[in-house]
Amino acid sequence: MNTGIPARKFLSTLILGAASVLFAGGLGVAPAMAAPAVAGLPDFTEMVEKAGPAVVNIRTTAKMRSGQNGAPGTDDEEMQEFFRRFFGIPMPRQPERAPRGNGKQQPQQEEEVPRGVGSGFIISVDGFIMTNAHVIDGADEVYVTLTDKREYKAKVIGADKRTDVALVKIEGGNLPRLPIGDSARLRAGEWVIAIGSPFGLDNTVTAGIVSTKARDTGDYLQLIQTDVAVNPGNSGGPLINMRGEVVGINSQIYSRSGGYMGISFAVPIDEAMRVVEQLKASGKVTRGRIGVQIGEVTKDVAESLGLSKAHGAQVQRVEPGSPAEKGGVETGDIILKYNGIAIERSSDLPRLVGNTRPGARAAITVWRKGASRELQLTIAEMESEKVAKKDDGKSKPERVANALGLLVTNLSEAQRRELSLESGVLVEAAEGAGARAGLRPGDVILRLNNTDIKDAGQFNALVAKLDPKKMAVLLVRRGDSSQFVPLRPNTQ
């Protein structure tokens, strides 16, 4: 019988086939056709039924006079914020009111106008609710709506912009709540769900996996990165694991269009709960500081300095009179350890220092001129953000960022000599428009538009007069170089 296969080729095929069977059998490997069936996707229904009632819709309003043209904030500025934080939905401008009667100006009256919506979740049966700081930022009133349509006016207990965590309270009893999980136990590839109010649609559920549990985005915290679909209005809602526990607060997305593009970020619940405990106690968060400006250690720098690998935080500047200066830290030092904990990336240091109680002693290990040294520092207190609680009129006013999102101070005489400058102001903190433009603490502002900056008072006065509809430009010095940075003022 002619099979169409030459005898020699047929024999070789037979031998190779037999060898393959023997080899597979010897290793206990089953043929491909006998592979086990792929497991089905997880069923979230029961978990959503239990968790859903504890997720709330948060809407905010602002008070404005009837003669004003619409809600606070311009569309352009809010769209810029949308690209970064973006989860609170900005409301459209209200139409300008025409004069009544004989055209005489009517007395202006305050009225509530919509400002935005977001999400939150109840963490205690007596009505404490966690959300994002940017959801309630700038709001005069905060309203919370439960899934059964009950609505409450909420009291803002406190907010922390550095972690984007806020705590509000409603007066209620025996409310549904979500159990708190452990974000440190998360693993990449683990299933998670998000529940919130995207575009104002209550109790919308989306699911995905954890992409990485410690994404460094340049903010104060490392965030949980997921591929869960989140959109405007999801902000402040819970990220929930398969045990029905909250492991994060949905806070940001990465987007080039303003819409969801497959990457979202959540604040780890472990850090959020630490913030919440302080907000409950005092309405603000107290953090430590040592007074250094730091940068990354590159591979080339590490090799040149004799380090075994690129790690640690490079000290670019030491603030005069700071704990770092008093403890012996010098410009050019590489901080390798903080209280025995290795600094792998420069961003590790601010988090470790920030979590240290002011007044406590801390040990740091620095690399200087080819050798390591042990230094002792006394931690100072980082300047507090504006307290969310009502002011009793007796306390001193908090220093807050201006309309460019910048908190600035005058240069000391020592700094002027060191930088060879006659004038300028030092950036202590950057948020909002300033942070989005890339400004950071340690930058020196030399000029606003065409005006040289002499001191902080003059700078803040000039900023207050800026037209929010027009771009401003700053001449900023960083290190030994200066460049112009365009940005648009925040609208208050």
**Residue among 104, 73, 103, 100 nearest 89 (CA):** 73
Helix (H) or strand (E) holding 325: helix 323-327
Residue 25 lies in a domain: no
Show which of 286, 303, 319 is a domain's final residue.
Answer: 286
Query: Are residues 412 and 426 in contact, defined by beta-carbon separation less than 8 angstroms?
Result: no
Mark whether 277 and 300 lie in a shared domain: no
According to the model, what pLDDT value does residue 489 have?
85
Binding site for substrate, residues?
134, 164, 233-235
Which segments are annotated as binding site?
Answer: 134, 164, 233-235
In a domain, 135, yes or no: yes
Residue 394 covered by a domain: no
Of the residues 119, 134, 251, 348, only one is catalytic, namely 134
Size of the chain in residues: 492
What's the pLDDT at 337? Answer: 96
Q: Are residues 344 and 414 in the same domain?
A: no
User: 156 and 231: one domain?
Assistant: yes
Count of structural domains within the chain: 3
Evaluate whether residue 371 is within a structural domain: yes
489 and 471 Cβ atoms separated by less than 8 Å: no
Nearest-angstrom CA–CA distance, 349 and 366: 12
Does residue 234 share a domain with residue 85? yes
Residue 338 and residue 110: Cα distance in Å, rounded? 52
pLDDT at 384: 61
Residues 136 and 173 in one domain: yes
Q: Do 186 and 211 share a domain, yes or no?
A: yes
pLDDT for residue 254: 65
Domain end point (choices 243, 265, 286) = 286
Q: Can you list the pairs that 416-424 forms with residues at least 24 positions away whose Cβ atoms lie under 8 Å?
A: 419/444, 419/477, 421/446, 421/477, 423/452, 423/453, 423/454, 423/455, 424/453, 424/477
On whether both 234 and 303 belong to a single domain, the answer is no
Name the token pair of 217: 């985005």
- How far is 435 from 153, CA to CA, in rounded Å? 32
Give yes or no: residues 293 and 282 share one domain.
Answer: no
State the pLDDT at residue 12. 41
Any idea what DSSP says for residue 97?
P
Catalytic-residue membership of 235: yes
72 and 122 inside one domain:
yes
Active site residue 270: no
243 φ, ψ to 5°?
A: -95, 5
The reply to whether 457 and 321 lie within a common domain is: no
Do both 138 and 217 map to the same domain?
A: yes
- Domain containing residue 375: 289-381
**Residue tagged active-site, from 235, 251, 264, 347:** 235
Give the pLDDT confidence of 436-492 residue by residue, as tens digits: 888 989 899 998 988 889 999 899 999 988 888 888 888 889 887 778 788 888 754
Residue 134 a catalytic site member: yes
Catalytic residue among 137, 160, 164, 202: 164
Same domain, yes or no, for 128 and 155? yes
Query: Tell me, what's the pLDDT at 211?
Result: 93
Evaluate whether residue 277 is within a structural domain.
yes
- pLDDT by position in tens, the chain (length 492): 444 444 444 334 433 343 333 333 343 444 444 434 446 678 899 999 999 999 999 999 888 755 444 444 444 444 444 444 444 444 444 444 444 455 555 555 667 777 788 999 999 999 999 999 999 988 899 999 999 999 999 999 999 988 899 999 999 888 999 999 999 999 999 999 999 987 777 788 999 999 998 887 656 778 999 999 888 788 899 999 999 999 999 987 765 555 566 788 999 999 999 999 999 998 888 899 999 988 888 888 888 888 989 999 999 889 999 999 999 999 889 999 999 999 998 888 998 998 899 999 999 999 998 899 999 999 999 876 544 444 344 433 345 678 898 999 998 888 888 888 888 999 988 888 888 888 989 899 998 988 889 999 899 999 988 888 888 888 889 887 778 788 888 754
Q: Which CATH number fits the domain that encloses residue 314? A: 2.30.42.10
* CATH number of the domain encompassing residue 258: 2.40.10.120
Query: Could you tell me if residue 229 is inside a domain?
Result: yes
**Tell me, what DSSP letter sits at residue 179?**
P
Q: What is the pLDDT of residues 361-408, one digit of tens each?
A: 999 999 998 899 999 999 999 876 544 444 344 433 345 678 898 999
The pTM (predicted TM-score) of the whole model is 0.61
Question: Side-chain half-sphere of 485: how many Cα atoms within 13 Å?
Answer: 23
Q: Of 286, 302, 327, which residue is a domain's last?
A: 286
The answer to whether residue 481 is domain-embedded is: yes
Q: Is 352 helix (H, G, I), strand (E, B) or coil?
A: helix
Does the residue 146 lie in any domain?
A: yes
